[in-house]
Amino acid sequence: MPHLQSKVGLLILAAGASTRLGRPKQLLPFRGTNLIVHTVLAGLESKCLPIVVVLGSNSALIAETISHFPIQIVKNDHWNLGMSSSIWAGMTKLLELDSELEAAVIATCDQPHVAGKTIDDLIALQETSGKPIVASAYSDTLGVPAIFNRAVFSELINLLDVRVDVRAGTGGAKQLIKKYAKSNQVASLDFAPGAIDIDTEADYALLKADSITC
């Protein structure tokens, strides 16, 4: 049996202002808690260590709900510049906490069906496939949650080089997934529920209706 990677960190991105929703999506009630706590609990159920959560908008309010967990919270002062700025902040902290990480999983707090098993399945598939990136497959696309091998850490961090120009911070990990997919360097994990993310009140209403009927 292949030896699973022993040093895999988890980066949870939760810095956005939820402008389309009109209130912090991180704090939306879900299954007896809220979306950000649900995502943190999924991370704690996985093999990942350390776990870093990047906050930005409403950071103090959101931090109150997760500060008691064994995680590291990073405030991204440049959250409004895009997801790349949060990846830079989070990856910098992960490597500060453990400079020998072999891989890092990136997840967001608005995909409510991500579980600890989802994260562990990404880790296992990277080990067996040997690909530098394993991304979740849903809705005819590849995206997060995804795991990135150490070999691509520098590219993740340099999606936004805030030391040069923070205004460049647009996009996120998906651009790197697309780049490596072109050369067949991305393995895919079937994760149809990944298509469900919460951006609007209509999305949230559908999530609540689905939770009631399940």
For the cut 70, the answer to whether the pLDDT of residue 202 exceeds it is yes
Minimum mean pLDDT range among 13-22, 142-151, 195-204, 205-214 = 205-214
171 Rama sector, left if φ>0, alpha if ψ -120 to 50, beta otherwise:
left
Query: DSSP class of residue 3?
Result: P
- For the purposes of burial, counting CB atoms within 10 Å of the CB of 7, is it exposed (0-12), middle (13-18) or buried (19 or more)? middle
128-183 per-position pLDDT tens digit: 999 999 999 999 999 999 999 999 999 999 886 544 444 444 458 998 999 999 99
77-125 per-position pLDDT tens digit: 999 888 999 999 999 999 999 999 999 999 999 999 999 999 999 999 9
d(CA 60, CA 49): 24
23-71 per-position pLDDT tens digit: 999 999 999 999 999 999 999 999 999 999 999 999 999 999 999 999 9
d(CA 63, CA 54): 10
Q: What residue spans of 8-55 are helical by DSSP H? A: 35-45
- For the purposes of burial, counting CB atoms within 10 Å of the CB of 70, is it exposed (0-12), middle (13-18) or buried (19 or more)? exposed
d(CA 65, CA 68): 8
Q: Domains of the chain by range and CATH?
A: 8-213 (3.90.550.10)
